Structure 1
Amino acid sequence: MNLKLFGEVFVTLLVIVDPPGMVPVFLALTGTLPVKERIRAGTQAVLLALGVIVIFAVAGQTLLDYLHVQLPALQGAGGLLLVLVALQLLTGKTDEPSEQAGTSNVALVPLGTPLLAGPGAIVATMLFVQRADGLNDYTVIGLGIIAVMATVWLVLRFSGGIVKLLRPGGIEVLTRIAGLLLAAIAVQLIADAVAAFVELYTAAA
């Protein structure tokens, strides 16, 4: 087993996904849900993110080429999605969901994608796959991805203790802070996408 490659994949994706940084957003979106529903949302988000990353690892470049979509476009779309969620958190106009539908919606967007399986994680995974040499490397990359997602799940799974400490008032404050952080991440994603497009078309010219 190529431990060096495993370490590179694990550390790179862990830094990009940033589990500790996910906790405020996760709690802001799920803090009002019952414990079981919050755990279910975290599990669904992680499974979705794992599925998206694996799909892009296997067929990402082919899919983007077929759709005539470039990576900066994917990045910009992720940024726009996050802007919408950030505005809801900042204004406090998040809908009070029914348990089943609300849990699934939060798990899909924005937790599963574009926060966990965002442009950064997708691009990094695609680059690792392009560098891979043989089945052994592909297996190591897959194990690295699974290890990262398992780590994220554990962090989200045991973040419920923070909810007990913060209580409703603290969750309200945390929601606003999370909205601000999400807005900053969204603006950075969009700015990076614009810069990438400028560089791409300048080079082409």
Structure 2
Amino acid sequence: MNFIHQFGLTFMAFFAIMNPISSLPVYISLTADDDPKTAKAIARKGLILAFCITAIFALGGQYIFSMFGITLPALRLAGGSLVFLIGFHMLQGQSSPTHRITSDHDNSTQSNANNPNNTNQQITDPDKLNVAISPLATPLLAGPGTIATAMSLTAHHTMTDMMITISAFGVLCVITYVLFLYSKTIVKLIGDNAMNVMTRMMGLILAVIGAQMLISGLQGAFKVLA
């Protein structure tokens, strides 16, 4: 029973930090111009990477930070800057710059659309799948808050804590993947106008979250600001 209770607390901690509901408009914005297969590949790759990142830091985050001389405030400053910029572009009603591809790839994609025999090109296009790494996997899904939570939950370095932490985040990733898969359906049910309003609202929230990460990073780096 203690195991179930600890699993529930861990799951809710990750859910509050990662919040897949708030990530849904971001994912829709990043894959707005992609076909369903490409969008599915982006969701799958992003969540797998987010799970791997969180698992690695849950197992040996303290050692990784010590090895490379990285501090948590530095991670918060870098992640906060990225999240703020993504939120700013969403607030302006623009696509994230990380999702823009060159004209050569645009022409290639158009050519592939006219060729029904080449249906897998968009999925294998590295420029399109790059958004699964950044900003989707990190810093949105496995950002400084998620990493810090994983490290704090495994501070005692017991195998039970590590397995519970990794399992809880894995379940959350599966739930998030299902939400991402049905994101287009959700958009149709909500409507374009409501989705545009939601996207701008989430852009504002993301910008505020990014600013808060920056403030936390500055307070951690400069104790006099705390």
Change in CA separation of 1:174 and 1:102 when aligned onto 2, cut-off 3 Å:
farther
| In 1, Cα distance between equivalents of 2:83 and 2:29 | 14
CA distance in 1, matches of 2:76, 2:69: 15
Task: Please identify the structure whose Cα radius of gyration is greater.
Answer: 2
Q: For residue 34 of structure 2, give the secondary structure of its aligned residue in structure 1.
A: coil
Q: How far apart, CA to CA, are the structure 2 residues paired with 1:29 and 1:170?
A: 17
- SS at 2:154's partner residue? helix
Distance (whole Å) between structure 2 residues aligned to residue 71 and residue 148 of structure 1 = 23
Deviations, residues 34-67 of structure 1 (Å, cap 9, x unaligned): 1111111111111110011111112211111122
What secondary structure is seen at the aligned counterpart in 2 of 1:131? coil
Amino acid at match of 2:41: R
TM-score for the superposition, normalised by structure 1: 0.85
Equivalent residues in 2 for 1:63-82, closer than 5 Å: 63-82=64-83
Matched residues in 2 for 1:107 and 1:41: separation?
A: 5
Indicate if the aligned counterparts of 2:18 and 2:140 stay in contact, CA closer than 8 A.
Answer: yes
> Following the alignment from structure 1 to structure 2, what is the Cα–Cα distance between the partners of residues 114 and 57?
16
Could you list the per-position Cα deviations for residues 6-45 of structure 1 after superposition, in whole angstroms to 9, with x for gaps in the alignment?
1121110011110111111111111221111111111111
* Deviation, structure 1 residue 168: 6.0
Within the candidate set 181, 202, 205, 2:205 is matched to 181
Q: 1:46–1:153: 8 Å Cα contact kept in structure 2?
A: yes
Does the CA contact (< 8 Å) of 1:74 and 1:119 recur in 2? yes
Matches within 5 A, 1:104-115: 104-115=129-140
CA shift for structure 1 position 164? 2.8
Shift of 1:181: 2.6
Give the corresponding residue for 1:18.
Answer: 19
Give yes or no for contact 1:40–1:103 (8 Å, CA) kept in 2.
no
Query: For residues 199 and 173 of structure 2, what CA distance do their matches in structure 1 show?
Result: 24
Distance verdict in 2 for CA 1:160–1:17, change over 3 Å: same
Partner in structure 2 of residue 118 of structure 1: 143
5+ residue gaps, structure 1 = none
Give the one of 183, 198, 201 matched to 2:222: 198
- Match for 1:141 among 116, 141, 165? 165
Could you tell which deviates more after superposition, 185-194 or 79-88? Answer: 79-88
Q: Which stretches in structure 2 are left out of the alignment for 5+ residues?
A: 106-121
Q: CA RMSD in A?
A: 2.4
Q: Name 1:101's counterpart in structure 2.
A: 126
What is the distance in 2 between the residues matched to 1:143 and 1:178? Answer: 28
- On the 8 A contact 2:24/2:183 being kept in 1, the answer is yes
The number of aligned residues is: 201
Q: Cα distance 1:109–1:38, how it changes in 2: closer, same or farther (>3 A)? A: same
- How far 1:88 sits from its partner (Å)? 3.5
Aligned-residue offset at 1:96: 4.1
Could you give the per-residue CA deviations for residues 108-147 of structure 1, whole angstroms, max 9, x where no partner exists?
11110001001111111111111353x3333222211211
